[in-house]
Chains A and B, each alone.
Chain A
Amino acid sequence: EVQLVQSGAEVKKPGESLKISCKGSGYSFTSYWIGWVRQMPGKGLEWMGIIYPGDSDTRYSPSFQGQVTISADKSISTAYLQWSSLKASDTAMYYCVRGDDAFDIWGQGTMVTVSS
C-alpha cells in the first residue's frame, strides 16, 4: 500500500525549534516530489513547498520562504519540515503530500500547537 505516515502531534513553546517527519512506503520514494501543506485551525489549505528526494531539489512558496526548512533523507524514505524558532501563528495541522502537480497521496497530518 502506498502511504505517507507522519510523526505525532507536538506541543511547543514560542521560540523553540521543531522538526516533523513524513515517511513514505509502498513506492519509489526518490521518484516523486514530496510537499507540505498547512491548515490553520478552521481555515483552508496552503501549499508551503516541495522537495525531490532523489536530488534534494527544493522549492518554497514565497509565503514560507525563510520561515521553514524542507529536507529529506532518501536512505530512510523520510521527508522533514522544520522550524528554528516557532511562533504562536505556526499553530496548525501540517500535511505531507506526494507530487508536484495533483497530490494523490496525503499523510494523516501532524498537529503542531505553539503556546506559552
Chain B
Amino acid sequence: AIQLTQSPSSLSASVGDRVTITCRASQGISSALAWYQQKPGKAPKLLIYDASSLESGVPSRFSGSGSGTDFTLTISSLQPEDFATYYCQQFNSYFLTFGGGTKVEIK
C-alpha cells in the first residue's frame, strides 16, 4: 500500500500567519490527492481534491499544490476557525490511504 507521510505532525501558529503542511507519498500518485480538515468532535471536511482543486464552499485562503510524490497544503492567512487537524489522502491506488495528520494549534 502507498504510504503518506505528513510533516510536521503539529505546529503552532498565530492568526494571520501563512501555514504550509506537506504530504509525501511513498510512490508517485499523479494528482490523486485530497486534503481534509477535522475539528474536535466533528467529522472531517473535504478541502482540496485532485491535489489543487478547491472544494465548493471552502475559503480561497486554502490552496493545494504538487504532483507525483510531494504535495503541499497552504493556508495563506490563518484564521481562528482554521485551528484543527489536517489530513492528506491518496486515491491513486486500489487501496486508499491517509496521512498521519497535522495538528495546527494556536501560538
Contacts and interface: CB of A to CB of B under 8 A. Distances in A.
Which DSSP category, helix, strand, loop or mixed, fits chain B's interface? loop
Interface stretch (B12-20, B71-79, B86-94): B86-94
Contact of A104 (B55, B87, B95): B55
Nearest to B87: A45
11 contacts: A44-B100, A45-B44, A45-B87, A50-B96, A62-B1, A101-B91, A102-B34, A103-B36, A104-B49, A107-B43, A109-B43
Interface residues of B, number: 23
Given A95-B43, A103-B34, A61 B95 contact: yes
A54 B63 CA distance: 34
Contact of B45 (A44, A45, A106): A106
Contacts of A45: 36, 38, 44, 87, 89, 98, 101
Contacts of B36: 45, 103
**When A and B form their complex, which 10 residue pairs have the shortest distance between CB atoms, in order from nearest?**
A102-B49, A102-B34, A101-B91, A106-B43, A45-B98, A47-B96, A44-B101, A104-B46, A44-B100, A45-B87
B3 interface: no
Contacts, number: 57
A59 interface: yes
A4 B34 CA distance: 20
Contacts of A95: 43-44
Interface string A28-41: 00000001010000
